[in-house]
């Protein structure tokens, strides 16, 4: 065969091989490169997200005392032991005598807010009027959400001027 015919045939075969073998590999390379860039952008996005979460966490750490107070004000659940301890401390701080109490057994949904639960507590106390006033003030100042529903004056002890008092209270949780 003639050299002038063989050279163009080899060039055409080389071009066909280049386009047939190298071109698909080049396309695959470009696809993989695009996927790598997309993954890199995703990684950068996740890094930025966690960086923002860290900044928010640091900001919240500044308010840990306030967050603790909020957790005390609205606990997840009301336990009888915690309620008993809470009221015994408040009663003794105010100078009252706790005679009897009925702790919450179950909580009901609050009609005010569907996410809030209400629990009723009944206390039977013996106290002077200033001590009762101090007790109610202390309940209002405490972090826990307590609502005084009803105060009943049952009778008085004329010897030492103590009143027998019945209190109905409502506690909130979420």
Domain holding 149: CATH number? 3.30.70.60
Q: Which residues contact 83 (CB under 8 A, 6 or more apart)?
A: 103, 104, 119, 121, 171
For residues 103 and 161, membership in a common domain is answered with yes
Report which listed range, 42-51, 107-116, 159-168, is most confident. 42-51
In a domain, 113, yes or no: yes
In a domain, 44, yes or no: yes
- In which domain, by residue range, is 42 found? 1-62
Task: Judge whether residue 74 has pLDDT over 70.
Answer: no
**Residue predicted with more confidence, 80 or 49:** 49
Task: Judge whether residue 85 has pLDDT over 90.
Answer: no
For residues 161 and 78, membership in a common domain is answered with yes
In a domain, 141, yes or no: yes
For residues 156 and 138, membership in a common domain is answered with yes
pLDDT, residue 42, reads: 96
**Residue predicted with more confidence, 158 or 65:** 65
In a domain, 67, yes or no: no
- 10 Å Cβ neighbour count for 143? 13
Give 41's pLDDT tier (boundaries 50, 70, 90). Answer: very high
Alpha-carbon span 174 to 154, nearest angstrom: 33
pLDDT, residue 72, reads: 66
In a domain, 25, yes or no: yes
pLDDT, residue 98, reads: 85
Q: Among the three residues 22, 41, 62, which one is the final residue of a domain in this structure?
A: 62
Average pLDDT, integer, range 17-36: 86
pLDDT, residue 80, reads: 77
For residues 124 and 92, membership in a common domain is answered with yes
For residues 79 and 49, membership in a common domain is answered with no
Give 109's pLDDT tier (boundaries 50, 70, 90). Answer: low
For residues 28 and 90, membership in a common domain is answered with no
Alpha-carbon span 26 to 18, nearest angstrom: 10
For residues 16 and 91, membership in a common domain is answered with no
Counting the structural domains of the chain, the total is 2
For residues 17 and 92, membership in a common domain is answered with no
Task: Judge whether residue 145 has pLDDT over 70.
Answer: yes
For residues 100 and 20, membership in a common domain is answered with no
Task: Judge whether residue 153 has pLDDT over 90.
Answer: no
Q: Among the three residues 35, 62, 89, which one is the final residue of a domain in this structure?
A: 62
For residues 57 and 134, membership in a common domain is answered with no
Quick one: CA dihedral 141, 146, 152, 156, positive or negative? negative
For residues 161 and 109, membership in a common domain is answered with yes
For residues 76 and 139, membership in a common domain is answered with yes
């Amino acid at each position: 065969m003639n050299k002038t015919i063989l050279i163009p045939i080899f060039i055409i075969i080389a071009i066909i091989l280049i386009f047939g073998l190298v071109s698909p590999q080049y396309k695959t390379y470009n696809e993989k490169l695009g996927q790598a860039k997309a993954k890199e952008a995703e990684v950068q996005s996740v890094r930025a997200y966690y960086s923002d979460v860290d900044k928010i966490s640091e900001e919240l750490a500044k308010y840990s005392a306030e967050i603790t107070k909020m957790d005390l004000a609205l606990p997840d659940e009301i336990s009888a032991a915690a309620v008993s301890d809470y009221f015994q401390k408040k009663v003794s701080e105010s100078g009252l005598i706790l005679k009897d109490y009925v702790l919450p057994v179950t909580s009901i949904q609050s009609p005010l807010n569907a996410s809030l639960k209400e629990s009723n507590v009944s206390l039977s106390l013996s106290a002077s009027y200033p001590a009762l006033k101090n007790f109610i003030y202390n309940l209002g100042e405490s972090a826990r959400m307590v609502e005084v529903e009803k105060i009943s004056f049952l009778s008085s002890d004329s010897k030492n001027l103590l009143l027998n008092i019945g209190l109905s209270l409502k506690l909130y949780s979420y």
